[in-house]
Amino acid sequence: MNYIQKMRKLIGNEMLMTVGCGIIIEKDNQILLQHRKDHDVWGIPGGVMEPGETFYETAMRETLEETGLKVEQLKLFGLYSGEEGFSQYQNGDKVFSVQIIFYSNCFSGELLQSTEESHEHRFFSRNNLPHLNSHQERFIHDWVTRVNLPVIK
């Protein structure tokens, strides 16, 4: 049982603050997105930090689990908080998430398609994005407009 499941047993649907970490993975000027099974939207790989993990460990663990890719040379892309971090799920769970987003164009491994959480993974150009996860639109839009794009040397 993970941290979120343990906390939900204690607090039910009440507000839970979480730290989410994700990675904008770029190849040939395109972004890797995953088609989620739970909400029929596309977003970047990532997930919730477990106690004791670093931001980097969380982002890399979640990305490996969700995509099969080992990502290296992570650069901080952005920190996202504010009212847009609130979400209420269909089951009534309320969450406020702070997001730490990284960027990398250095990865290896075989890209998985169907996983426990995803229908598929695909690279998209800036001008041809699918229906996005509303909670990730802010940082995907920043990637599209090249806001905060780190320099990789």
Sequence-distant (≥ 6) Cβ neighbours of residue 103 within 8 angstroms: 23, 24, 26, 74, 75, 76, 77, 143, 149, 150, 152
Write down the pLDDT at residue 151: 57
Instruction: Please give the mean pLDDT across all residues of the chain.
Output: 91
Q: How confident is the model at residue 153 (pLDDT cuts 50, 70, 90)?
A: very low
Q: Please, what sign has the CA dihedral across residues 91, 86, 14, 34?
A: positive
Least trusted range by pLDDT, from 31-45, 65-79, 95-109: 31-45
On whether the CB atoms of residues 23 and 105 are closer than 8 A, the answer is no
Mean pLDDT of 60-82: 95
Write down the pLDDT at residue 36: 85
Write down the pLDDT at residue 122: 95
Strand ranges (E), 9-133? 16-27, 30-36, 42-43, 46-48, 70-72, 75-80, 86-88, 94-104, 106-108, 118-124
Of 50, 65, 117, 120, the active-site residue reads 120
Percentage with pLDDT > 90 across the chain? 75
Is position 116 annotated as part of the catalytic site?
Answer: no
Mean pLDDT of 108-126: 88
Write down the pLDDT at residue 118: 78
Amino acid occupying residue 45: P
Q: Which domains does the chain have, with CATH numbers?
A: 3-144 (3.90.79.10)
Residue 138 has pLDDT above 50, yes or no: yes
Write down the pLDDT at residue 28: 96
Strands 42-43 and 118-124: unpaired
Tell me how far apart the alpha carbons of residues 59 and 22 are, in angstroms, rounded to a whole number.
5
Higher pLDDT residue, 86 or 117?
A: 86
Write down the pLDDT at residue 90: 86
